[in-house]
């Protein structure tokens, strides 16, 4: 950990033996080397997955050969388009719903004063500590009571209120200067207009983070769909991938991995689009 | 702008009092807005989290298999937990896992976050940041599936590589130590990226001139890290560790796909036992009882962290 | 990230329209047959498996044009997963009328969910005589529970030994005799290991209830649960199997039996196989590319049943490349099997229609339509014939049914608490067979005994 600090800083009184510049260059090279190894370890399994999916075992010969056969196989074995549509509906509506409700609640917790605020916010945060497995059976019974058992709405409706998103948005609104609201009020804007025309647009990067995290979570979600969905027509992508494994795990490895690769694509697209707001949002302090 | 997640000094000290002299109509509108905006979140969390928790607590006093009528059994479910070796082992496993995995996750994330601050071309920095974050966009279930192939004792790539460089092959998923190692590695592999991003954000919000001042005083390297970086980063470390611990206490996907809790009970976690009791053995009351104990533990640990944080966390 | 207001509104509008168009999908009202007043038959499988039964449904409807049938495929990685889904359906208030149930869940269903078939069987005895004449009584007995019959089996799989012919020939070995012993098996494994190189494994096995340690316990005349039988059932045996003696009203697995010295013997034998590198250290769950590995000749022997024939053919194996034989004998040569059949749900409001379906599926026509190719073994002796196996093999396909007719056999142990029992077994097997010494095996079996006692004490 002795090499953790960043390169030479102006005015540093370095000990002798080596010149500052030499030490800095050497240190940087070592640091980059360490990070290259770390990047290899994080990306390696992904590359292996892609490679294996592209080189399925040939029936009979036992040879591996390059080709898209495994990907074609995915579409033969499961209705990939339906899976994607279902996942897109669940993920899109969860993300949109979370962005809206989190923006509203986060704004109130950041900018409004009312009795019981601390207690309510504490309660909201406390719900984050309850494992989902603990509440899933009562939630299932509630969903049944609403007549929504084995529908996509069973996944969407309970997921829209979000404690974590509310927390994120509160933090974000706290960072916006209070004077903006005061200025708007002086201009004669009511509280609703102040929110919609001043604060909400400024909070767009924060909303993007909530949306991206929601997308990522619900696109990959496994446990709730496993419990809540029964009909195959309602399955989301992760459940479809399990189908590829076959009964007692007899499916082809290449086909399973091709499914994994396909399921990665939308998350990857969102990741690339969202990389910038995500990084800026989470590292924003730097531009102060 | 201030960091979103880490409560930086600016955020913590944001003015709390509303501006004075607000017209009466606006005050009424403000009240309206307050409750209207809170309603979806409060009602939603109330209906889909609070009510189910109460339901779960009630359920813990019954024996119920979903099909037959529930049977009131008092504290019998809780009493059985105390004597059930599987439950005891699974909780111990979970604690051990949390300690090792969270320490590793925070250490790796902090180490890399500090490294990535060093001087390098912008594209390289972006590449590293993206690479470290990448595993987060995958689903835990499919990652575990991929890792199960990689760590397969007979045909897996990891053992083939070990054999190629003349190291002994390891029974990754068939020995206790191997299976625990794999579960921890796979979990940390997938989750350190988020902590990493939090730390990058926290580090970036430490003003440059603090370092410069200390350099003039002769502090460098490790000393500077101890004296400046860690204290100024401590609010971020608190948030990161609270989040990491809460989610590690609920670990399920990785051992479920990789080992099904085995070999023996070596990788059986608390949430796995909840799942097995409820959805395989149809003992919903027992599952609820375990779940409530786990929830209480999570709340206790989190409260303890915030308590300790008063001593260790440094707000400028 | 400066999305203009117009772009945001446009996107929101697009999303709203898309959502509005998807309302039937969100509410699942677009699933055909959902909520219809038809006979719902739940099967373990996916949409393709359901489609494969279209012929069966059509043939049934020719006979019963007034009974609408909906096949409802239910996904599950294994049986316990499938049963959890059925329970979810019951809990959701939409239980199916008929469910395919395997041995693993037979007693759980009989205990809590299924309706006994006794009255129907007695009523239609004349129609069913042909079926019972064609089916080995062991299969029927495995679906008796406390004197009542809950299912009519339609397919089964006994654990036999598959071997790769060339792996055998390379080692200069002949096909083993039907009565080979467990010592012979060890010799075969050693010879194969010596003669084949690379990542070759003489014996590959998977740690699960069916085909895991159980075959080795059964051939040694023991089991990890004490097996007793229930009285009753004469109503069936006397009328359909006159002359058959010693049949019961079903099995009972009430006590753990892991402390039996013979159980230790079998586990210690498996420990030797693993320690010598002759057998895989048992993997949990599925075998990954087992078919491919076996087809490539990287695996010498593995336990499997008739269900594997189709998969091996798809994997490129010809009947000459592999063959099947019995498990070796030890103190006995009792074989384990798992079977499956349709159970009638006690909540069903269409029990008479359900019975017609169950009965139809036991006819020759129903079975021919249900099992067009050998991906399982039909329970009717007359259907395990040359025509069924002519293209795909193996040469000694008679082994599949002769296992029932010529050797003692019994179902895998599956009391109503099967899921807990299986968990207890699976989790202690690895520790026992990878133990460094016989002391390690003993202590692992001690834990198994304790866990099984706990599992059996629960619920029921």
Assigned CATH class of C159-232+242-336+414-457: alpha beta
- pLDDT, residue B168, reads 80
Nearest to C224 by CA among C452, C458, C430: C452
Q: For residue range A118-156, what is the model confidence (pLDDT) as tens digits?
A: 999 999 988 988 888 889 888 988 998 888 888 999 999
Chains in contact with B, where contact means 3 or more Cβ–Cβ distances below 8 Å, are A, C
Alpha carbon of C52: minimum distance to chain A alpha carbons (Å): 13
Q: Which of A102, A220, A223 lies nearest to residue B252, judging by beta carbons?
A: A223
Q: Which two tokens stand for residue C216?
A: 């080795």
Q: Which two tokens stand for residue A76?
A: 């033969």
Cβ within 8 Å, pair C286-A249: yes
pLDDT cut 90: percent of chain A above it: 23
Strands C322-325 and C206-207: unpaired
Cβ within 8 Å, pair A242-C77: yes
Cβ-Cβ contacts under 8 Å, A141 against chain C: 91
Cβ within 8 Å, pair B153-C113: no
> ipTM score of the complex?
0.79
Question: Using CA atoms in the order C387, C390, C392, C397, what is the torsion angle rounded to 10 degrees?
Answer: 80
Beta bridge partners of C343: C99, C151
Q: Is there a contact between A220 and B139 (Cβ–Cβ < 8 Å)?
A: yes
Cβ-Cβ contacts under 8 Å, B256 against chain C: none
State which residue of chain B sits closest to C279, comparing Cα positions: B154
Contacts with C138 (C-beta within 8 Å, 6 or more apart), sequence order: C337, C404, C409, C410, C411
Cβ within 8 Å, pair C27-A93: no
Cβ-Cβ contacts under 8 Å, A9 against chain B: 211-212, 215
Cβ within 8 Å, pair B2-A45: no
Q: Which fold has domain C39-157+338-387?
A: D-Maltodextrin-Binding Protein; domain 2 (3.40.190)
Tell me how far apart the alpha carbons of residues C432 and C455 are, in angstroms, rounded to a whole number.
Answer: 19
Cβ-Cβ contacts under 8 Å, C427 against chain B: 260-265, 268
Q: Is there a contact between C281 and C430 (Cβ–Cβ < 8 Å)?
A: yes
State the number of CA atoms in the 13 A half-sphere of B208 facing the CB.
Answer: 10
| Ramachandran sector of residue A248 (left: φ over 0; alpha: ψ -120 to 50; beta: rest) | left
State which residue of chain B sits closest to A166, comparing Cα positions: B41
Tell me the CA end-to-end span of chain B in Å, nearest whole number: 17
Nearest to C313 by CA among C392, C206, C418: C392
Q: Which of C281, C285, C419 lies nearest to residue B171, judging by beta carbons?
A: C281
What does residue C377 show for φ and ψ, rounded to 5 degrees? -110, 120
Q: Taking residues C160-178, report their average pLDDT.
A: 92
Write b or e for each residue in A190-211: b if 16 or more Cβ atoms lie within 10 A of its Cβ, otherwise e: bbeebbeebbbeebbbbbbbbb
Tell me how far apart the alpha carbons of residues C287 and C307 are, in angstroms, rounded to a whole number.
Answer: 15
- The least confident of C31-45, C125-139, C178-192, C262-276 is C31-45
Would you call B252 an interface residue with chain A, using a CB distance cutoff of 8 Å? Answer: yes
CA dihedral over A47, A50, A55, A57, signed as positive or negative: positive
Q: Which two tokens stand for residue B44?
A: 């939603």
Q: Which of C113, C285, C288 lies nearest to residue B260, judging by beta carbons?
A: C285
Q: Is there a contact between C154 and C376 (Cβ–Cβ < 8 Å)?
A: no
Checking if the pLDDT of B175 tops 70, the result is yes
Checking if the pLDDT of A14 tops 70, the result is no
Tell me how far apart the alpha carbons of residues A62 and A56 are, in angstroms, rounded to a whole number.
Answer: 9
A52-56 own/partner pairs: CB under 8 Å, 24+ apart: A52/A253, A52/A254, A52/A257, A52/B149, A53/A254, A53/A257, A53/A258, A53/A260, A53/A261, A55/A254, A56/A252, A56/A254, A56/A255
Tell me how far apart the alpha carbons of residues C88 and B278 are, in angstroms, rounded to a whole number.
Answer: 11
Cβ-Cβ contacts under 8 Å, C316 against chain A: 59-61
Q: Which of B84, B262, B282 lies nearest to residue C454, judging by beta carbons?
A: B84
Query: Domain B78-312 belongs to what architecture?
Result: Orthogonal Bundle (1.10)
Cβ-Cβ contacts under 8 Å, B144 against chain C: none
Strands C151-158 and C335-344: antiparallel
Cβ within 8 Å, pair B43-A160: no
Q: Which two tokens stand for residue A116?
A: 């019981």
pLDDT cut 70: percent of chain C above it: 96
Checking if the pLDDT of A263 tops 60, the result is yes
Tell me how far apart the alpha carbons of residues C227 and C263 are, in angstroms, rounded to a whole number.
Answer: 13
Q: Is there a contact between C383 and C368 (Cβ–Cβ < 8 Å)?
A: yes
Would you call B128 an interface residue with chain A, using a CB distance cutoff of 8 Å? Answer: yes
Strands C409-411 and C299-304: unpaired
Q: Which of residues 5-64 of A touch C (CB under 8 A)?
A: 57, 59-62
C15, C31, C92, best to mutate vs chain A, most A CBs in 10 Å: C92
Alpha carbon of A81: minimum distance to chain B alpha carbons (Å): 19
Q: For residue range B92-120, what is the model confidence (pLDDT) as tens digits?
A: 999 999 999 999 999 999 999 988 887 78
- The least confident of A241-255, B82-96, C335-349 is A241-255
Within 10 A of B134 (CB to CB), how many other CB atoms are there?
Answer: 18
Q: Which two tokens stand for residue B28?
A: 């009424």
- pLDDT, residue A286, reads 32
Contacts with A165 (C-beta within 8 Å, 6 or more apart), sequence order: A98, A99, A101, A102, A106, A210, A213, A214
B279, B284, B290, best to mutate vs chain C, most C CBs in 10 Å: B279
What are the Cα distances from residue C22, in Å, to A193, B249, C26?
Answer: 32, 37, 6
C75 three-class SS: coil
Checking if the pLDDT of B21 tops 80, the result is no
Cβ within 8 Å, pair A129-B128: no
pLDDT averaged over every residue in chain C: 88
Tell me how far apart the alpha carbons of residues C446 and A32 are, in angstroms, rounded to a whole number.
Answer: 53
- pLDDT, residue B22, reads 57
Q: Which of residues 101-120 of C touch B (CB under 8 A)?
A: 112-113
Q: Assign C3 a pLDDT band (cuts: 50, 70, 90).
A: low
Q: Which of residues 74-133 of A touch C (CB under 8 A)?
A: 77-79, 85-86, 89, 92-93, 96
Q: E-strand spans in C257-334?
A: 283-284, 299-304, 322-325
Q: Assign C459 a pLDDT band (cuts: 50, 70, 90).
A: low
- pLDDT, residue C184, reads 95
Checking if the pLDDT of C411 tops 90, the result is yes
Would you call B44 an interface residue with chain A, using a CB distance cutoff of 8 Å? Answer: yes
Q: Is there a contact between B6 and B239 (Cβ–Cβ < 8 Å)?
A: yes
Q: Is there a contact between C381 and C135 (Cβ–Cβ < 8 Å)?
A: yes
Nearest to C83 by CA among B145, A233, B55, B66: B66
Q: For residue range B200-224, what is the model confidence (pLDDT) as tens digits?
A: 888 887 887 777 777 777 666 777 7
Question: Is-above-0.90 flag for pTM?
Answer: no
C416 three-class SS: coil
Would you call B247 an interface residue with chain C, using a CB distance cutoff of 8 Å? Answer: no
Checking if the pLDDT of C357 tops 50, the result is yes
Q: Where do the domains of chain B lie?
A: 78-312
Q: Which of B52, B59, B149 lies nearest to residue A253, judging by beta carbons?
A: B149
C253 three-class SS: strand
Beta bridge partners of C256: C225
CA dihedral over B157, B163, B165, B170, signed as positive or negative: positive
Q: Which two tokens stand for residue A38?
A: 């770390």
Which domains are assigned to chain A? 20-71 (no CATH), 78-287 (1.10.3720.10)
- The least confident of A248-257, A277-286, B177-186 is A277-286
Checking if the pLDDT of C244 tops 70, the result is yes
Q: For residue range B229-267, what is the model confidence (pLDDT) as tens digits?
A: 888 888 888 889 988 998 899 899 889 888 888 777 889
- What is the DSSP secondary structure assignment for residue B48, as one 8-state letter? I
Number of A:B CB contacts under 8 A?
A: 326
Q: Where do the domains of chain C lie?
A: 39-157+338-387, 159-232+242-336+414-457
Q: For residue range A273-286, what is the model confidence (pLDDT) as tens digits?
A: 877 766 666 554 33
- pLDDT, residue A29, reads 81
- What is the DSSP secondary structure assignment for residue B130, as one 8-state letter? H
Cβ within 8 Å, pair B40-A104: yes
C73 three-class SS: strand
């Amino acid at each position: 950990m002795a090499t953790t600090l960043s390169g030479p800083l102006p005015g540093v009184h370095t000990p002798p033996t080596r010149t500052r510049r030499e030490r800095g260059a050497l240190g940087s090279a070592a640091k980059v080397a360490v990070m290259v190894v770390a990047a290899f370890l994080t990306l390696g399994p992904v590359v292996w997955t892609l490679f294996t999916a592209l080189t399925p075992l040939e029936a009979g010969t036992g040879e591996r050969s390059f080709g898209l056969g495994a990907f074609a196989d995915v579409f033969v074995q499961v209705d990939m388009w339906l899976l994607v549509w279902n996942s897109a509906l669940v993920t899109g509506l969860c993300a949109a719903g979370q962005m809206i409700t989190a923006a509203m609640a986060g704004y109130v917790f950041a900018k409004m004063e009312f009795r019981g605020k601390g207690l309510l916010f504490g309660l909201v945060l406390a719900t984050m500590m309850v494992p989902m497995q603990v509440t899933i059976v009562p939630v299932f019974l509630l969903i049944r009571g609403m007549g929504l058992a084995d529908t996509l709405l069973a996944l969407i409706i309970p997921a829209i209120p979000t404690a974590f998103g509310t927390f994120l948005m509160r933090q974000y609104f706290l960072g916006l200067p209070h004077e903006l609201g005061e200025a708007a009020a002086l201009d004669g804007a009511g509280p609703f207009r102040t929110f919609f025309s001043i604060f909400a647009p400024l909070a767009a990067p924060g909303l993007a983070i909530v949306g991206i995290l929601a997308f990522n979570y619900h696109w990959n979600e496994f446990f709730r769909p496993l419990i809540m969905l029964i009909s195959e027509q309602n399955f989301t992508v992760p459940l479809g991938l399990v189908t590829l494994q076959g009964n007692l795990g007899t499916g082809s490895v290449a086909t399973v991995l091709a499914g994994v690769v396909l399921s990665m694509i939308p998350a990857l697209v969102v990741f690339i689009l969202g990389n910038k707001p995500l990084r800026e949002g989470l590292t924003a302090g730097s531009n102060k | 702008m201030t960091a979103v997640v880490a409560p930086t000094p600016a955020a913590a000290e944001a003015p709390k009092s509303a501006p004075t002299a607000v017209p009466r109509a606006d005050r009424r509108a403000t009240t309206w807005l307050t409750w209207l905006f809170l309603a979806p979140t409060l009602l939603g969390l109330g209906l889909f989290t609070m009510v189910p928790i109460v339901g779960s607590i009630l359920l813990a006093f019954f024996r119920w298999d979903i099909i037959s009528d529930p049977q009131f059994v008092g504290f019998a479910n809780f009493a059985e937990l105390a004597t059930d070796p599987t439950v005891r082992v699974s909780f111990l496993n979970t604690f051990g896992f949390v300690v090792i995995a969270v320490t590793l996750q925070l250490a790796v994330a902090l180490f890399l976050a500090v490294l990535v601050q060093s001087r390098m071309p912008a594209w390289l920095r972006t590449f590293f940041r993206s690479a470290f974050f990448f595993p987060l966009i995958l689903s835990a279930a499919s990652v575990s599936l991929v890792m199960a192939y990689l760590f397969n004792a007979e045909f897996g790539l990891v053992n083939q590589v070990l054999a190629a460089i003349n190291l002994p092959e390891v029974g990754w998923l068939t020995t206790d130590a191997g299976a625990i190692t794999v579960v921890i590695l796979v979990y940390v592999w997938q989750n350190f990226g988020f902590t990493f991003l939090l730390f990058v954000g926290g580090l970036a919000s430490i003003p440059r001139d603090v370092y410069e001042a200390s350099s003039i005083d002769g502090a460098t390297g490790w000393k500077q890290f101890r004296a400046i970086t860690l204290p100024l980063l401590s609010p971020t470390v608190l948030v990161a560790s609270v989040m990491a611990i809460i989610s590690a206490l609920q670990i399920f996907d990785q051992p479920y796909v990789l080992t099904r809790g085995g070999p023996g009970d070596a990788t059986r976690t608390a949430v796995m036992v909840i799942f097995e009791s409820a959805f395989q053995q149809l003992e919903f009351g027992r599952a609820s009882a375990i779940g409530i104990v786990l929830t209480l533990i999570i709340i206790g640990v989190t409260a303890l962290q915030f308590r300790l944080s008063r001593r260790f966390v440094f707000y400028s | 990230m400066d999305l203009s207001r117009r772009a945001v509104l446009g996107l929101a509008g697009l999303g709203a329209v898309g959502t509005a168009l998807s309302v039937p999908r969100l509410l699942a009202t677009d699933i055909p047959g959902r909520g219809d007043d038809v006979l719902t038959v739940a099967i373990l499988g996916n949409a393709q498996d359901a489609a494969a039964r279209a012929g069966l449904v059509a043939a049934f409807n020719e006979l019963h044009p007034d009974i609408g049938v909906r096949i409802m495929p239910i996904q599950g990685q294994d049986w316990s997963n499938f049963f959890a889904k059925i329970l979810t359906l019951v809990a959701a208030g939409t239980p199916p009328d008929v469910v395919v149930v395997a041995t693993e869940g037979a007693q759980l269903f009989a205990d809590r969910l299924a309706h006994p078939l006794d009255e129907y069987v007695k009523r239609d005895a004349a129609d069913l005589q042909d079926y019972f004449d064609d089916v080995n009584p062991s299969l029927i007995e495995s679906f008796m529970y406390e004197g009542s019959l809950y299912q009519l089996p339609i397919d089964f799989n006994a654990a036999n030994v598959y071997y790769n012919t060339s792996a055998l020939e390379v080692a200069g070995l002949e096909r083993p005799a039907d009565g080979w012993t467990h010592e012979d098996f060890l010799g075969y494994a050693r010879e194969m290991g010596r003669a084949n190189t690379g990542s070759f494994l003489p014996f590959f096995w998977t740690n699960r209830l069916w085909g895991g340690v159980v075959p080795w316990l059964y051939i040694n005349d023991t089991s990890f649960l004490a097996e007793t039988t229930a009285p009753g059932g004469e109503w069936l045996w006397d009328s359909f199997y006159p002359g058959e003696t010693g049949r019961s009203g079903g099995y009972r697995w009430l006590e753990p039996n892991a402390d039996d010295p013979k159980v230790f013997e079998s586990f210690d034998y498996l420990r030797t196989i693993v320690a010598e590198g002759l057998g895989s250290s048992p993997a949990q769950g599925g075998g990954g590319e087992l078919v491919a590995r076996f087809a490539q000749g990287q695996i010498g022997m593995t336990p499997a049943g008739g269900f594997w024939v189709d998969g091996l053919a798809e994997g490129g194996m010809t009947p000459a490349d592999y063959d099947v034989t019995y498990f070796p004998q030890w103190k006995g040569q009792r074989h384990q099997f798992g079977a499956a059949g349709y159970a009638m749900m006690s909540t069903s409001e269409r029990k008479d229609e359900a019975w017609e379906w169950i009965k139809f599926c036991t006819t020759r026509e129903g079975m021919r339509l249900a099992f067009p190719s050998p991906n399982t073994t039909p329970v009717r002796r007359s259907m395990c014939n040359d025509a069924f196996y002519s293209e795909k093999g193996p040469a000694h396909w008679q082994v599949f049914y002769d296992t029932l007719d010529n050797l003692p056999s019994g179902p895998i142990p599956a009391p109503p608490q099967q899921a807990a029992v299986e968990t207890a077994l699976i989790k202690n097997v690895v520790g026992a067979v990878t133990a460094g010494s016989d002391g390690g095996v003993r202590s692992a079996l001690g834990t198994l005994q304790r866990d099984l006692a706990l599992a059996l004490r629960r619920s029921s």
